[in-house]
A and B are shown apart, each in its own frame.
Chain A
Amino acid sequence: MVKGNWALFEEDFWSINQILQTLSRSASARSVMLIDKTGQLINSIGEPPGFDVTSFSSLAAADFAANAQLAEMVGEKDFATLVHQGTTESLYLTMIANRVILVVLFDRKTSLGLVRLKARRAGDELSVVLNRLFNKLQYKNEELTTTSLGADFHAEAESEIDSLFKD
């Protein structure tokens, strides 16, 4: 049985997926990503990005974390939204439910205003789904984490670790 610090289940995953797809389409974004605030990619929708999404996720989380500290220094609770505007590609990042970061990658086919509007709406919807998930995890942890990885998971994982991580 597995008890991660948090877990994402089928039903919540598809709700999230649906919201991200609607956002991607309605904002004419190139792609939309949802990243855990510790830097782990949860889901990615839209054009497959031409970059390493794992690295991207760790940098996006670090970017957000660093900016949260800057906010605190200037007396703000946080900077809930970050925008990085490039010549052709831009990023819009916003924190949802204090736990995950919504990232919208967009180009000149759309505008920051439209992205902001649609991302706000998606953020509200995502908050509902995520808060429902976190409440379930908090109050019904035992019941919800009964999905087993299999009795042999640990033995197999350890064997993989031994075979891959060596000189």
Chain B
Amino acid sequence: MSLINYSSREINCKIVYYGPGLCGKTTNLQHIYSRVPQETRGKMISLATEMDRTLFFDFLPLELGQIRGFRTRFHLYTVPGQVYYNASRKLILKGVDGIVFVADSLIDRFDANVESLMNMHDNLAEHGVSVDKVPIVMQYNKRDLPRVVAVPDLERELNQRQAPYFEAVALRGTGVFDTLKLACKLVLKTLG
């Protein structure tokens, strides 16, 4: 949930990267971390297993600086994608202002995307949040790989609410900032 502090003149917003295991959520944050100016980003925290799989979350704070006298920050989180970490996913969604759903374009991962999306709806519902009320940006990742699902098919199955989407190759950074920028703008729109 966005927190506006009129005394210290700060606005903080939370954006969560959601999606199935190995879809590229952490890769998105790593790319953002590597490319934004140093003064814009805080420390990136990754609570990961020894095998570099997200255990609890990744966290990356970004600061826009002073906008009309308000220090404006976005806190980016990823959830652990693996199915059995649902308790952690649910916790990370608490207070979310905007969501980036990273879908894995590989044909073999199609069902995992659907399952993750349904899981996201369930978890939001448990927080009393309707999925229609939260700004969402879809990202169809790994578009450079062979054997991927066509975008119209992904759209039909995963994006019935017709949220904006971007095709991406997060490992190379393609589509990463387009996704982030739109998510941030949509979140700011909900503030006023």
CA distance A149 to B70 in the complex (A): 8
A contact residues, total (Cβ < 8 Å)? 45
Q: Which of A86-94, A101-109, A111-119, A157-165 sits within the interface?
A: A157-165
- Across-interface contacts of B61 in A (CB, < 8 A): 54-55, 58
**In A5-38, which residues have CB < 8 Å from any B CB?**
5-10, 12-14, 36-38
Residue pair A167, B192 in contact (C-beta under 8 Å): no
Residue pair B2, A4 in contact (C-beta under 8 Å): yes
Interface SS of B by simple majority: mixed
Residue pair A2, B1 in contact (C-beta under 8 Å): no
CA distance A43 to B32 in the complex (A): 27
Residue pair A3, B91 in contact (C-beta under 8 Å): no
Chain A: which residue is nearest B72 at the CB level? A157
Chain B: which residue is nearest A40 at the CB level? B12
- Across-interface contacts of B65 in A (CB, < 8 A): 160
**In B174-192, which residues have CB < 8 Å from any A CB?**
177, 180-181, 184-185, 188-189, 191-192
Q: Which of A61-69, A75-83, A123-131 sits within the interface?
A: A61-69
Residue pair A8, B4 in contact (C-beta under 8 Å): yes
CA distance A38 to B94 in the complex (A): 6
Contact of A164 among B40, B70, B73 (CB under 8 A): B40
Judge if A59 is at the interface, Cβ distance under 8 Å: yes
- Across-interface contacts of B40 in A (CB, < 8 A): 164
Smallest Cβ distance from B97 to chain A, in angstroms? 8
Contact of B5 among A13, A149, A154, A157 (CB under 8 A): A13
CA distance A154 to B62 in the complex (A): 17
**Of A7, A43, A62, A156, most B-chain CB atoms within 10 Å:** A62
- Across-interface contacts of B35 in A (CB, < 8 A): 166-167
Smallest Cβ distance from B180 to chain A, in angstroms? 5
Smallest Cβ distance from A129 to chain B, in angstroms? 13
Asked whether A38 and B14 contact (CB < 8 A) given A165-B177, A167-B173, the answer is yes
- Across-interface contacts of B69 in A (CB, < 8 A): 150
Residue pair A4, B4 in contact (C-beta under 8 Å): yes
Binary interface encoding of chain B residues 24-49 relative to chain A, with 1 for a CB under 8 A from any of its CBs, else 0: 00000000100111001011010100
Chain A: which residue is nearest B32 at the CB level? A165
Smallest Cβ distance from A45 to chain B, in angstroms? 13
Asked whether A39 and B188 contact (CB < 8 A) given A5-B1, A147-B6, A153-B68, the answer is no
Besides A13-B8, A39-B95, A157-B188, 9 other CB < 8 A contacts?
A: A3-B192, A13-B7, A38-B95, A43-B8, A52-B42, A58-B77, A153-B192, A154-B188, A166-B35
26 chain-A/chain-B pairs, Cβ below 8 angstroms: A4-B1, A4-B11, A6-B3, A7-B3, A10-B6, A13-B7, A13-B8, A37-B95, A38-B95, A39-B59, A40-B12, A40-B14, A42-B3, A54-B42, A54-B43, A58-B75, A149-B67, A149-B192, A153-B68, A153-B192, A156-B68, A157-B72, A157-B185, A165-B62, A165-B177, A167-B35
**A interface vs B, CB < 8 Å?**
1-10, 12-14, 36-40, 42-43, 52, 54-55, 58-59, 62, 65-66, 69, 147, 149-150, 152-154, 156-158, 160-162, 164-167
**B interface vs A, CB < 8 Å?**
1-8, 11-12, 14, 32, 35-37, 40, 42-43, 45, 47, 56-57, 59, 61-62, 64-65, 67-70, 72-73, 75, 77, 87-88, 91-92, 94-95, 97, 173, 177, 180-181, 184-185, 188-189, 191-192
